[in-house]
A and B are shown apart, each in its own frame.
Chain A
C-alpha cells in the first residue's frame, strides 16, 4: 500500500521531463502530448470495446426490453414500468424471492458459522490442519452443476442413502421430493460445497492475530471460549464482514446447483430467482417480463456489491490504522 502511494506520488512529478522525450524521436505526425494520449488510448481501447459490447450493451438491452411487452416475435411495444409492477404480485416471482432469500440467508449464516468453527479448530500451522483445510475446500474448485448431480445420485429416490434406508426397512425419504426437505437439502449441499472457502479465509485472518493478545487474555484468566468470542473473533470481524457479503452475493445468484440437484422442483419449491429468469426466457413468451426480473436481480446484486466495497474499505482502514 505505502509502496503504491510512493510510486504514484513520484510519477506525478515526473511527466514533465519524461513526456516530450517519450514521443519525440519517432513521431512525425502528432505533437508529443497527443501522441502519448493516443498510445494510452491504444492500450485501453481493446478491453473497453470488448467489455462494452459484451457486458454493458447487454445490460442496456435488458433495460430496454424490460420496458416493453416483447414476446420474442411481435414488435416490441413500450409499456413503461408495467413489468416491474408485476414483480411483486406474480406468485412464481414472489415465491422465487422467498426461496432465494432463504437460500442466501440460511446458507450464509451456516457457511460463516461452520467456516468459523473449523477455522478456529484448524488455525494452527501443521500438516494435519492443512490437510483438513484442503479437504474442506476442494468442492470449491468443482463445478456446482457436477456437485449437484453427484448429490442427486446420493439423495435421490434410488440414491445411495435411500437404498440403504430401504434395506433397513425405512421408506424412501424425499430429500429432493418433499418441498421443505428439498429446500433443506439444497441449502445443505450449498453449505457443504461453500464453507471451506470461509475456513481458508478465516484461518488466514486468524494467523495474523498477535500472540501477545492471546497471552494477555490467558493471563487475565479468560477461558478458550471467552478468548475466541471476546478477543479473536472481534479482531477478525472485518474479514467476517467481507466473507458475509461475498457469500450473500454469491448465493443470490444460485443457479447451477438448482438445475442439477432439484431442477427447481418439487413444484417450484427450490426455484431460485436466477433459475426462474432463465426458465421464463426459454418459454419465450414473456421476454420483456423476464428482462424486468433480470434487471431487478442486477440491482439487488449491485446494492450488495456496494456493501462489499464499503466493507472492504472499512477493512483497509482497519488494517492500515
Chain B
C-alpha cells in the first residue's frame, strides 16, 4: 500500500504542479495581456484578432486620445484622486493616532467600550450607508462638496486604523511614556515625539490599507460628488467614460490601461509592504 502510494506520488507530483502553475500563469496574465496589446490596436484589429500582438500596425493614436481626452480624462483624475488619498491619509493619522494612544494607555472600562464603539464601524457595509450619509451631509451644508467626501472617507478609515494602532501601542512599554513625562512632556507631545516614531510598522500598514482603499473606492465619490461638481476620481472617471463609449473598444482599453497603470507600478515597487499590510489589515481589522 505504502509503496504504491510512494510511486503514485512520485509519478504524480512532477505533473500536477507544473500544470497547475501553468493554469495560474495563463489565468492571471491573460487579462492583462489583452489589456496591454489591445490598447495599441484599431477597433477592427481588436475585434478581428484580440489575442495577437500588434507588431505590424501598432498605433499609439488611441492611447494618445485617452491621454488628451477633454472629457472624463483618466490622467487628470490621477491628481484629484491622489489629493483625496493624501488628505484622507493625513487626517486619519492625525485623528486616529492620539485617540488610539489614549485608548491603549487607559485601562478603564470606558476606554475599552470606546474601542468597541469604533470597531462596530467595521461591520457597516459602505453601499448601505452612503445614502443616509447624503442626508447628514446636506444638513451640515457639505452635500456635493469635496470636504463632505473627505469627512466621510476619514470616518470610514478611522475604525480599522484606530484598532491597528491600539494593538501596536500596547506592545510599546509604558515606561517610555513615564520617562517622557518625568522630563516634562505633555501627553500629546509624548505621543507625537516619542510614541509615534516607534509606530512605523503600524503606520505603514494603515497608510497602505487606507490609500489603496480610497484610491479604489467607487461608491462614495460617485454618490457624494455629483457629476455637476466636475471632480472625478479614477474610478468615477472610468465609469462615466465607459458608460458612454462601452462599444468603442479603442476607448475602453486605453482608458483602463491608464487607470490600472499607477496601481500596478505602485504594487510592483511595494509588493512586500502592500501584501503584508493588506493581509494584516483584513485579518486584524
Q: How far is the CA of A237 from the CA of B40 in the complex (A)?
A: 47
Contact of B25 with A by CB under 8 A:
yes
Say whether B282 contacts A197, CB under 8 Å.
Answer: yes
Say whether B127 contacts A141, CB under 8 Å.
Answer: no
Contact of A39 with B by CB under 8 A:
yes
Say whether A43 contacts B278, CB under 8 Å.
Answer: no
Residues A224 and B132 in contact in the complex (CB < 8 Å), given A8-B170, A297-B125:
no
Q: Which of A240-276 contact B (CB under 8 A)?
A: 242, 246, 252-253, 255-256, 259-260, 274-275
Q: A132-166 vs B: 1/0 string, CB under 8 Å? A: 10111111111111100111111000111001100
Q: Which of B122, B152, B234, B239 contacts A305 (CB 8 A)?
A: B122
Q: How many residues of B contact A (CB 8 A)?
A: 107
Say whether B216 contacts A135, CB under 8 Å.
Answer: no
Say whether B242 contacts A301, CB under 8 Å.
Answer: no
Contact of B175 with A by CB under 8 A:
yes
Contact of B58 with A by CB under 8 A:
no
Contacts of B90 in A (CB 8 A): none
Contacts of A169 in B (CB 8 A): none
Contacts of B172 in A (CB 8 A): 7
Say whether B136 contacts A58, CB under 8 Å.
Answer: yes
Say whether B187 contacts A39, CB under 8 Å.
Answer: yes
Contact of B98 with A by CB under 8 A:
yes
Residues A301 and B282 in contact in the complex (CB < 8 Å), given A58-B136, A255-B219:
no
Q: Which of B130, B136, B152, B175 contacts A10 (CB 8 A)?
A: B175
Say whether B29 contacts A164, CB under 8 Å.
Answer: no
Contacts of B9 in A (CB 8 A): 223-224
Q: Which of A31-58 contact B (CB under 8 A)?
A: 39-40, 42-44, 46-48, 50-51, 53-58
Q: Which of B75-103 contact A (CB under 8 A)?
A: 94-96, 98-99, 101-103
Contact of B259 with A by CB under 8 A:
yes
Contacts of A102 in B (CB 8 A): none
Q: Which of A25, A145, A158, A290 contacts B239 (CB 8 A)?
A: A145
Residue of B nearest to A250 (CB): B282
Say whether A259 contacts B156, CB under 8 Å.
Answer: no
Q: How far is the CA of A57 from the CA of B239 in the complex (A)?
A: 29
Q: Which of B166-225 contact A (CB under 8 A)?
A: 170-175, 178, 181-182, 184, 186-188, 191, 212, 215-219, 223
Contacts of B159 in A (CB 8 A): 51, 55
Residues A160 and B175 in contact in the complex (CB < 8 Å), given A40-B106, A47-B158, A117-B20:
no
Contacts of A145 in B (CB 8 A): 216, 218, 235, 238-239
Q: B111-140 vs A: 1/0 string, CB under 8 Å? A: 000100110111111111111110110001
Contact of B15 with A by CB under 8 A:
no
Q: How far is the CA of A279 from the CA of B274 in the complex (A)?
A: 33
Chain B nearest CB: distance from A138 CB in Å? 6
Residue of B nearest to A256 (CB): B218
Q: How far is the CA of A65 from the CA of B260 in the complex (A)?
A: 39
Stretch at the interface among A14-22, A177-185, A208-216: A14-22
Residue of B nearest to A50 (CB): B155
Chain A nearest CB: distance from B213 CB in Å? 10
Residues A7 and B173 in contact in the complex (CB < 8 Å), given A46-B99, A200-B279, A242-B283:
yes
Q: How far is the CA of A57 from the CA of B134 in the complex (A)?
A: 11
Residues A301 and B123 in contact in the complex (CB < 8 Å), given A47-B158, A55-B129:
yes
Q: How far is the CA of A135 from the CA of B21 in the complex (A)?
A: 11
Say whether A246 contacts B263, CB under 8 Å.
Answer: no
Q: Which of B1-50 contact A (CB under 8 A)?
A: 2, 5-6, 8-9, 13, 17, 20-21, 24-25, 27-29, 31, 34-35, 38, 46-48, 50
Q: How far is the CA of A233 from the CA of B12 in the complex (A)?
A: 21
Say whether A4 contacts B170, CB under 8 Å.
Answer: yes
Residue of A nearest to B122 (CB): A305
Residues A294 and B128 in contact in the complex (CB < 8 Å), given A14-B174, A55-B121, A246-B283:
yes
Residues A135 and B25 in contact in the complex (CB < 8 Å), given A22-B181, A50-B151:
yes
Q: How far is the CA of A274 from the CA of B263 in the complex (A)?
A: 26
Contact of A12 with B by CB under 8 A:
yes
Contact of A59 with B by CB under 8 A:
yes
Say whether A7 contacts B170, CB under 8 Å.
Answer: yes
Chain B nearest CB: distance from A217 CB in Å? 12
Contacts of B105 in A (CB 8 A): 11
Residue of B nearest to A47 (CB): B99
Say whether B247 contacts A4, CB under 8 Å.
Answer: no
Contacts of B38 in A (CB 8 A): 153, 160
Q: Which of A59, A153, A242 contacts B253 (CB 8 A)?
A: A153
Contacts of A142 in B (CB 8 A): 216, 260, 263-264
Say whether A135 contacts B239, CB under 8 Å.
Answer: no
Q: How far is the CA of A239 from the CA of B274 in the complex (A)?
A: 20
Contact of A61 with B by CB under 8 A:
yes
Contact of A277 with B by CB under 8 A:
yes
Contacts of A168 in B (CB 8 A): none
5 closest cross-chain pairs (CB), A and B: A54-B155, A160-B50, A143-B216, A274-B127, A294-B128
Given contacts A50-B158, A146-B238, 15 further A-B contacts (CB under 8 A): A8-B174, A21-B181, A50-B95, A50-B155, A58-B133, A61-B132, A65-B135, A121-B21, A142-B263, A143-B217, A143-B259, A145-B239, A201-B279, A297-B128, A302-B123
A-B contact pairs, 12 of them (CB 8 A): A54-B156, A58-B132, A61-B135, A62-B131, A121-B21, A138-B267, A149-B238, A153-B249, A160-B46, A192-B28, A253-B126, A301-B123
